[in-house]
Amino acid sequence: MSVFIPERNWWAQPLGKDEKLWLKVCVLTAIILFLMMPLYNLMGHQNPSHEGYKVTPEKFNQLTEDFVAKNKVRDEVVKQRFGTTEVEMKIPVVHPGPGVKDIYLRARAWEFYPILELEEGREYRVHMSSMDYQHGFSLQPQNINFQILSGYDLVVTMTPRETGEFYVICNEYCALGHHTMIGKIIVK
């Protein structure tokens, strides 16, 4: 019994027929599961692995501002409710010009900046970093999620395949305004 001392030679007791069969099933399952991960990476056509680099928040902020200044096409006026008052804000919409592959998305409590306007079928390298807290990049309704940290540049290579408006929800708790943090990506 599990609360009493086992027989002296418990380690010499051979496995039964059923136990041996089950052990084989277990090991086989584990090997198949293990092989699936690299195989998905090499042969599957989804979810590219991302890259990570170190970057200071100041440097990343500068890269984002330069990127916005060069490629901004218009401002989008949005309204945010604070209690009973509504505040109007302008967020730049950025359409990367021809040849611009590296695009920047800055996360800060509690905004994603800027709004990205991308072209269907064109490959981009999306850089993301945080200026302050940890944030989450959650692209909806595709449900693709990454962790955004300050001090680190996370680069995802992606090619939009559908047109329309997509949203980026912050899904890492970033203090009280967390649930108001949301960004937009437009694909044309």
Partner 1 sequence: MADTYSNQFRTCETTGLKVYLPGERLFYVHAVTAVVALLTGGIMAILIALTRWPAVHLLPADLFYRFITAHGINMLVFWIVFFEMAGLIFASTAVLGSRLPAVWFGWLNYALMLVGALLTNYMIFTGQADVMFTSYPPLKANPNYYLGIILFAVGTLLACFHFMATLVVAKKEGYHKGSYPLFTFGILIAVILAIFTLLAGAATYIPTWLWAMGFIDSIDPSLYRLGFWGFGHSAQQINLAAMVSIWYLIGTLSVGAVPLNEKFSRAAFLLYLLGINVASVHHLLVDPGLSASFRIFNASYVIYAATIGSMIHAFSIPAAIEVAQRAKGYTNGLFEWLTKAPWSNPAFSGMALSIVIFGFGGGVTGVTQGVEQINIMSHNTLRIPGHFHVTVVGGTSLAFMALTYYALPLIMRRKLIGETWAKYQPWLFGIGISIFATGMSFAGILGVPRRHYDVTFSSAIFQVPFSATATTMLGLLGIGAIIAFIGLMIFCLIAALTAFFGERIEPKMEPHYPPYLKDGEVEVSAVAG
- Does 18 participate in binding partner 1 (rule CB under 8 A)? yes
Which of 17, 58, 81, 162 lies at the binding interface for partner 1 (CB under 8 A)? 81
Residues between 159 and 178 that touch partner 1 (CB under 8 A): 167, 169-176, 178
The least CB distance from residue 85 to partner 1, in Å, is 11
Number of residues that bind partner 1 (CB under 8 A): 81
Which of 63, 68, 184, 186 lies at the binding interface for partner 1 (CB under 8 A)? 184
Residues between 95 and 124 that touch partner 1 (CB under 8 A): none
Which of 17, 37, 98, 99 lies at the binding interface for partner 1 (CB under 8 A)? 37
Long-range contacts of residues 105-109, Cβ cutoff 8 Å, at least 24 apart: 105/64, 105/137, 105/168, 105/183, 106/60, 106/61, 106/64, 106/130, 106/131, 107/131, 107/135, 107/137, 107/148, 107/170, 107/181, 108/132, 109/133, 109/135, 109/174, 109/175, 109/177, 109/181
Q: Distance (Å, rounded) from C-alpha 146 to C-alpha 138?
A: 7
Residue whose CB is less far from partner 1, 82 or 97? 82
Which of 151, 157, 163, 164 lies at the binding interface for partner 1 (CB under 8 A)? 151
Which of 17, 82, 97, 98 lies at the binding interface for partner 1 (CB under 8 A)? 82
Residue with tokens 């945080």: 130
Which of 73, 78, 102, 121 lies at the binding interface for partner 1 (CB under 8 A)? 78
- Does 40 participate in binding partner 1 (rule CB under 8 A)? yes
The least CB distance from residue 105 to partner 1, in Å, is 13
